[in-house]
């Protein structure tokens, strides 16, 4: 005799696209996090490497941008690892870090425009992949 506890009800199946989206987001955050760490180290070690702009509204020393890139890169790397571990809070945290990273690179546009635009585009792709139905589950 079987009871309702032998076969508990399951939620909807997670599509392969959703699993792939989470894997992409985790890999992207880890990789971009490492790139951001490298950019931060370069900016801290040699602030002459990046273009210095004049008349930019958000003037901040390149070394200060380096520290910001370094910290956000570390956070992105750790959030990507948490996504791979499927931590329940990692999806929301990853979206927040990707948004913060995109905003940071928006302000960094005058110093390294093509790279900043590429990182912003990948951050939006990460956010999109994490907001697909079935990607983030409890």
Taking only the tens place, the pLDDT of each residue in 68-113 is 999 999 999 999 999 999 888 999 999 999 999 999 999 888 878 8
How far apart CA 106 and CA 117 sit, in angstroms, is 8
Contact 91, 133 (CB under 8 A): no
What is the pLDDT at residue 61? 76
pLDDT at position 117 over 90: yes
Rg (the chain; Cα; Å):
19
pLDDT given for residue 84 in this prediction:
92
Cα–Cα distances in Å, from 33 out to 16, 57, 134? 25, 26, 25
Dist. CA 93–CA 126, nearest whole Å:
12
Q: What is the mean pLDDT of residues 53-59?
A: 66
Which of 5-9, 34-38, 42-46, 110-114 shows the lowest per-residue confidence on average (mean pLDDT)? 5-9
Domain boundary assignment for the chain: 67-133
- Is pLDDT of 137 > 70? no
Indicate the length of the chain as a whole number: 138
Q: Which DSSP symbol is given to 49?
A: S
The packing angle between helices 113-130 and 16-45, to 10°, is: 150
Distance CA 123, CA 115 (A): 12
Of 136, 96, 99, nearest to 120 by C-alpha is 99
What is the spatial distance between Cα 95 and Cα 83, in angstroms, rounded to a whole number? Answer: 11
The predicted pLDDT at position 51 comes to: 66
């Amino acid at each position: 005799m079987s009871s309702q506890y032998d076969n508990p009800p399951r939620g909807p199946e997670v599509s392969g696209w959703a699993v792939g989206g989470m894997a992409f987001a985790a890999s992207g955050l880890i990789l971009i996090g490492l790139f951001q760490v490298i950019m931060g180290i370069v900016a801290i070690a040699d602030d002459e490497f990046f273009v210095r702009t004049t008349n930019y509204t958000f003037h901040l020393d390149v070394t200060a941008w380096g520290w910001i890139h370094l910290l956000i890169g570390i956070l992105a790397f750790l959030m990507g690892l948490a996504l791979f571990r499927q931590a329940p809070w990692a999806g929301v945290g990853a979206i927040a870090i990707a948004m913060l990273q995109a905003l940071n690179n928006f302000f960094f546009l005058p110093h390294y425009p093509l790279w900043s635009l590429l990182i912003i585009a990948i951050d939006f792709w990460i956010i999109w992949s994490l907001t697909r139905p079935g990607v983030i589950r409890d």
